[in-house]
């Protein structure tokens, strides 16, 4: 980890963040050596050929190992490399400005921020959570890859705080971002999500069912409201995936494509390509031995990774499939 990142964290901690003695906010810093499921980086492919096998299903890769990428008036030769990149971390919490993945500290911005989140009225099992999204270029820090075109660079950064987003706690306002939600509220479209949940158990989720997030529930609305919280773990995973969808809709995340020539660039998408994403728990109890496709049921892993001390504070590491032209 580079010195400027350490300086940033220390400066952030002592000059901005206030640690509350009331223990309303819980969490731990992520140890990149012991808390990350490094086998989730695999499989690694060159073209369509695996050079390092993995335990998890993979997306489509380019058929040719050699790519010619347009550069100005010419082309540059490159190798088509595919791997899974840890690129973001997310907090899911009921406490406004609780930075779960930054040690369980809380931003003290006064009482005028983060007070709008309400439990859904009239629903016994409803809930509301805030989500924070961080840029997390850990591969760059550890110098695992040397090609800039094949990894996220820079420092850790807080990219999004939903407490500052007026659409996160208002389903009607969020309709501006997801007007198509009205098309997928019927029982028929929701029944189709069962096949997505089944697919994510052993394979990848079904991208064509973009309104579904597998066993967690529906993708819409893109807010922090949960209308049927079967468990806090299920709700926190659902909102992590919704946040990923929301950032795609706002054009803040781009993705690579495993097709010849297309691997030379990344592209924006208004719809979350969920088959290209995995998640693993980092807080409150890190799961360093496994990661999961978007939509996979939390029943397969949550036992032993939840804490009575922190029943409403969660942290996740997001893995993204990366197809790139390695120089």
Q: Examine the pLDDT at 255 and tell me if it is beyond 90.
A: yes
In the structure encoding, which two tokens stand for residue 12, read together? Answer: 């952030």
What are the pLDDT digits (tens) for 47-81? Answer: 999 999 999 999 999 999 999 998 888 898 999 99
pLDDT of residue 160: 96
Cα separation, 30 vs 178, whole angstroms: 33
Q: Examine the pLDDT at 16 and tell me if it is beyond 70.
A: no
pLDDT of residue 11: 38
pLDDT of residue 113: 57
Q: Which residue has the higher pLDDT, 23 or 198?
A: 198
In the structure encoding, which two tokens stand for residue 75, read together? Answer: 């082309």
Question: Confidence class of residue 327 from pLDDT cuts 50, 70 and 90?
Answer: confident
Q: What is the mean pLDDT of residues 285-290?
A: 91
Q: What is the mean pLDDT of residues 227-235?
A: 87
Cα separation, 282 vs 89, whole angstroms: 9
Q: What is the mean pLDDT of residues 15-23?
A: 45
**Separation in Å, CA 81 to CA 21, 132, 254, 292, 321:** 48, 30, 17, 22, 11
What are the pLDDT digits (tens) for 167-207? Answer: 999 999 999 999 999 898 888 888 889 999 999 998 999 99
Q: Examine the pLDDT at 307 and tell me if it is beyond 60.
A: yes
Q: Which residue(s) pair with 133 in the sheet?
A: 90, 160
| DSSP 3-state of 77 | strand
pLDDT of residue 19: 44
Cα separation, 327 vs 146, whole angstroms: 9
Q: What percent of the chain has pLDDT over 90?
A: 64
Q: What is the mean pLDDT of residues 27-34?
A: 92
pLDDT of residue 57: 95
Question: Model's pTM, two decimal places?
Answer: 0.89
Give kind and range of the element (H or E) at residue 197: helix 193-202
Q: What is the mean pLDDT of residues 81-99?
A: 95
What are the pLDDT digits (tens) for 94-114? Answer: 999 999 999 999 988 765 555
Cα separation, 264 vs 224, whole angstroms: 35
What single-letter DSSP state applies at residue 218? B
Q: Which residue has the higher pLDDT, 190 or 115?
A: 190
Query: In whole numbers, what is the pLDDT of the chain averaged over residues?
Result: 86
Question: In 10 A of CB 250, how many CB atoms?
Answer: 15
pLDDT of residue 123: 47
Q: Examine the pLDDT at 8 and tell me if it is beyond 50.
A: no
Give kind and range of the element (H or E) at residue 50: strand 49-52
pLDDT of residue 111: 57
Q: Examine the pLDDT at 14 and tell me if it is beyond 60.
A: no
Q: What is the mean pLDDT of residues 9-17?
A: 42
Cα separation, 69 vs 76, whole angstroms: 5
What are the pLDDT digits (tens) for 137-152? Answer: 888 877 777 666 686 7
Cα separation, 283 vs 17, whole angstroms: 19
Cα separation, 9 vs 134, whole angstroms: 13
Cα separation, 244 vs 279, whole angstroms: 11
Give the CA count within 13 Å in the CB-facing half-sphere of 20: 17
DSSP one-letter string for 280-310: EEEESS---S--EETT--GGGT-TTS--GGG
């Amino acid at each position: 980890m580079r010195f400027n990142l350490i300086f940033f964290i220390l400066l952030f901690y002592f000059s901005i963040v206030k640690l509350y003695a009331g223990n309303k906010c819980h969490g731990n810093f992520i140890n990149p050596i012991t808390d990350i499921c490094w086998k989730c980086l695999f499989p690694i492919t060159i073209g369509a050929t695996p050079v390092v096998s993995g335990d998890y299903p993979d997306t489509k890769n380019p058929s040719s190992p050699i790519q010619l990428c347009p550069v100005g008036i010419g082309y540059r030769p490159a190798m088509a490399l595919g791997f899974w990149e840890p690129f973001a971390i997310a907090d899911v919490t009921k406490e406004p400005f609780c930075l779960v993945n930054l040690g369980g500290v809380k931003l003290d911005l006064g009482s005028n921020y983060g007070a709008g989140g309400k439990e859904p009225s009239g629903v016994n099992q409803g809930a509301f959570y805030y989500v924070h999204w961080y840029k997390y270029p850990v591969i760059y820090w550890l110098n695992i890859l040397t090609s800039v075109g094949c990894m996220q660079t820079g420092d850790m950064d807080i990219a999004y705080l939903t407490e500052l987003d007026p659409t996160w706690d208002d389903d009607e306002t969020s309709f501006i971002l997801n007007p198509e939600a009205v098309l997928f509220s019927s029982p028929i479209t929701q029944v189709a999500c069962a096949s997505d949940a089944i697919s994510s158990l052993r394979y990848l989720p079904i991208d064509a069912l973009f309104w579904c997030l597998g066993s967690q529930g529906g993708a819409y609305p893109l807010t922090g409201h949960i209308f049927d919280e079967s468990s806090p773990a299920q709700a926190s995973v659902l909102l992590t995936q919704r946040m990923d969808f929301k950032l795609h809709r706002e054009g803040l995340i781009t993705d690579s494509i495993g097709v010849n020539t297309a691997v030379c660039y990344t592209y924006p998408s208004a719809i979350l390509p969920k088959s290209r994403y995995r998640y693993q728990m980092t807080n409150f109890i890190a799961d360093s031995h496994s990661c999961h496709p978007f939509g996979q049921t939390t029943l397969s892993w949550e036992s032993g990774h939840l804490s009575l001390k922190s029943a409403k504070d969660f942290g996740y590491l997001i893995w993204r499939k990366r197809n790139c032209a390695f120089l």
